[in-house]
Amino acid sequence: SFSSSSRANDLSKLTLIGYLAKEPEARLTKNDKEYITHPSIMQETTQISSTSYVVAVRNPPPPPGPDGERRQSTSTFHRILSFQEGSNKYLRTLKKGSKVYCESTFELKEPAADADPSTPQGQRQIFLRHESIRVISYPKVDPEQATSHEDTTFN
């Protein structure tokens, strides 16, 4: 073991403020347990019963190039997994475009020595485990798309 301190005293945490990139969708594992996921730019690498969501964070613009021009800023997408039944229920209610504050633990998994480097098992993987999420703002609803008052209420 690398650390001589107890695991409870170690901390590896990531805090994100960004926008939900996709709405979660329910699926079943091989053991018929429900988990929530959605398509993203990252591949699904586990069959564990969980909820996952993706938070998009806008990166600051890069420094000016030699010509003095600044390139446009980009976004980074972070997939967060939740294994908490109560949180999973709540996460299913969140909508794409919601601005959120979320906290997660951070775990780095090194590639398997015998794995093909072009597969997820052959690449370094970062796992973010959900701890908490707060909605900062909900996505705006186009009045032409809303059919009733309930459609515009997010409580």
3-class DSSP string for 43-109: CCCCCCCCEEEEEEEECCCCCCCCCCCCCCCCEEEEEEEECCHHHHHHHCCCCCCCEEEEEEEEEEE
| pTM score | 0.67
Burial class (CB in 10 A: 0-12, 13-18, 19+), 40: middle
**Rounded distance between C-alpha atoms, residue 113 and residue 124, angstroms:** 11
**Architecture of domain 11-59+73-139 in this structure:** Beta Barrel (2.40)
pLDDT of residue 24: 67
**Rounded distance between C-alpha atoms, residue 67 and residue 61, angstroms:** 15
Residue bearing the bigger pLDDT, 146 or 58: 58
Q: What is the mean pLDDT of residues 100-128?
A: 89
pLDDT of residue 54: 87
Give the tens place of pLDDT for each residue, 121-147: 888 888 888 899 999 999 987 666 554
- pLDDT class of 43 with cuts at 50, 70, 90: very low
Domain boundaries, the chain: 11-59+73-139
The tokens describing 45, both together, are 């690498």
For residue 36, give the 3-state DSSP assignment: strand
**Rounded distance between C-alpha atoms, residue 30 and residue 37, angstroms:** 15
Q: Report CA-CA distances (Å) from 126 to 29, 47, 74, 104, 145.
A: 22, 16, 20, 12, 38
CB 100 within 8 A of CB 60: no
pLDDT of residue 67: 92
